[in-house]
Structure 1
Amino acid sequence: MKLYLDPGHGGSDPGAQGNGMNEKDINLDIALQIRKILTSEYSDADVRMSRTDDSTKNLTQRTNEANSWGADYYLSIHCNAFNGSAQGYEDYIHSSLSDSSTTAAYRDTMHEEITKVNQLRNRGKKKANFHVLRETTMSALLTENGFIDNAHDAALMSDPSWRQSVARGHVNGVAMAFNLQEKEDNGTLYKIIAGSFQSRENAENRVDHLQSNGIESFILTVTISGEQWYRVQAGAFLNRENAETRLQEVQNAGVEDAYIISEDS
């Protein structure tokens, strides 16, 4: 499967701006992590990126490159901005496509997997006449991963582990949509995160809830935008299938926003 991965904006084009951040930087970090996860964990994923650094590339160059390469899927990574009050995740396919199209089916899978892990308000599945959706000869999706000018979303964007989780959601969607085959041993540790709280008492309540359901967990402290958060971890596994099983157990226990992050072991 040939994936053309497009971190939006770059170079002289910063994209949306807010809370001391540029969209181009968030897009690039998420995309680089998508490539890293795909190439390290799947045997049949070939990834080409429109940019791998802070360089300028126009829209026509991006779509021409994907078309010439013969990509199977075009995935464009973006963040949003509006008026500071809007927040959440949304994604787009081209406005000419029906909801029963192959591209829409891929998008349905991607949308479900990304919204499982991104801790953002779900703004829904949308359509638009964006260049990268219109001028590509393969199925294409553009994701808008939060509003950079919104305090809630920006706090998440500034956290490297959140960007990794968003990348993981994109990878999970691509892998499921295209039936990718996992490598036998990728040296990755999969951790189940069962909640992040600013109050330690709330984190302790989550641990008590999980343990009452027979699920061992513990609290880690992380710093996001200079503030301390308490993260509840409910297991770590070398085998992703085992991690998915534990994730399902945690979700069945009522923690529906639990998700998996990966780290090199």
Structure 2
Amino acid sequence: MKKVWIDAGHGGKDPGAVGNGLQEKDIALTVSLGVKQRLEAEYEGVQVLLSRSTDVFLELDDRTSAANKAGADLLVSIHCNAGGGAGGFETFRYTNASAASRSLQNVLHTEIMAALKPFNVNDRGQKAANLHMCRESKMPAVLTENLFIDVAADAAKIKRQEVIDALIAGHVSGIAKYLGLKKKEGKTVAQERDINVVSSWAAPAWEAATKKGYFDGTRPGAPITREEAAVLIMRMENKK
């Protein structure tokens, strides 16, 4: 049984990067949970362990200590970026990384960029830095920076469910390739959306629209029919 440690960056009192109605901690957690669900559902002989599965704050030492104690075979720390510019996707290894970490980075970066290809995401490349999550992990470790929250074009992409799905799929494919995992026979799992749970990126807008009476607060993830759209338009007209 292979053990994969997925670290959702930031959390709790530490939101990470913030911009365009998004918080890094929310995106990191959404992708991390998706990676666990798909990897365990689609592949044999793998267990995915998480630094956090809810919106809680953890010190960096606590994250790497737990991963090391668990004897994980690899670690991926999931983040979003900030700092403006052209935006895009990039990965990091430790500056004095092992050959195994370099191999993990190469496979993971390649698979994620392949999944993001339909969305014209800028490839910022494979980089090295003195980052705690990569430095203090005893197993091959890579940190992924999944687009820029403070770049409008990237933020618009992050708000699309299909881009989140692509990020999840790329992480899953990269990890599976690196570990040589075997797919479960006859098992192609489509990621199902719980229509009763609002997406993290849409939560503020959904709450505001519900308070104004545009929606009744139920089924935030459900498709909208033309008749429902008509009701929404009339409600908005009546609010003027």
Q: TM-score, normalised by structure 2?
A: 0.76
1:19-56 superposed Cα distances (whole Å, 9 cap, x missing partner): 01100000000111000100100111111000001011
Q: More helix by proportion, 1 or 2?
A: 2
SS in 1 for 2:125: strand
Letter in 1 for 2:126: K
Separation of aligned partners in 2, 1:144 and 1:23? 10
Separation of aligned partners in 2, 1:11 and 1:185? 39
Shift of 1:86: 3.4
Q: Percent identity, aligned pairs only?
A: 40
Q: Name the residue aligned to 2:23.
A: 22
Higher relative contact order (CA 8 A, sep 6+): 2
Structure 1 runs of 4+ with >2 Å offset: 185-190
1:197-238 superposed Cα distances (whole Å, 9 cap, x missing partner): xxxxxxxxxxxxxxxxxxxxxxxxx99xxxxxxxxxxxxxxx
Q: Name the residue aligned to 1:244.
A: none
Q: TM-score, normalised by structure 1?
A: 0.69
Separation of aligned partners in 2, 1:78 and 1:27? 5
Q: Name the residue aligned to 1:46.
A: 47
User: Is 2:80 the partner of 1:82?
Assistant: no
Q: More strand by proportion, 1 or 2?
A: 1
SS in 2 for 1:170: helix
Letter in 1 for 2:101: T
Shift of 1:132: 0.6
The more displaced of 181-190 and 123-132 is: 181-190
Separation of aligned partners in 2, 1:19 and 1:50? 26
Q: Unaligned 5+ residue runs, structure 1?
A: 191-221, 224-265
Q: Name the residue aligned to 1:137.
A: 138
RMSD of aligned alpha carbons: 1.6
Letter in 1 for 2:108: M
Letter in 2 for 1:102: A
Aligned pairs for 1:27-38 within 5 A: 27-38=28-39
Aligned pairs for 1:55-134 within 5 A: 55-83=56-84, 85-97=85-97, 101-118=99-116, 119=119, 120-134=121-135
Q: Unaligned 5+ residue runs, structure 2?
A: 192-222, 225-240
Q: How many residues align structurally?
A: 189
SS in 1 for 2:53: coil
1:159-216 superposed Cα distances (whole Å, 9 cap, x missing partner): 12211111000100011111001111335249xxxxxxxxxxxxxxxxxxxxxxxxxx
Letter in 2 for 1:82: G
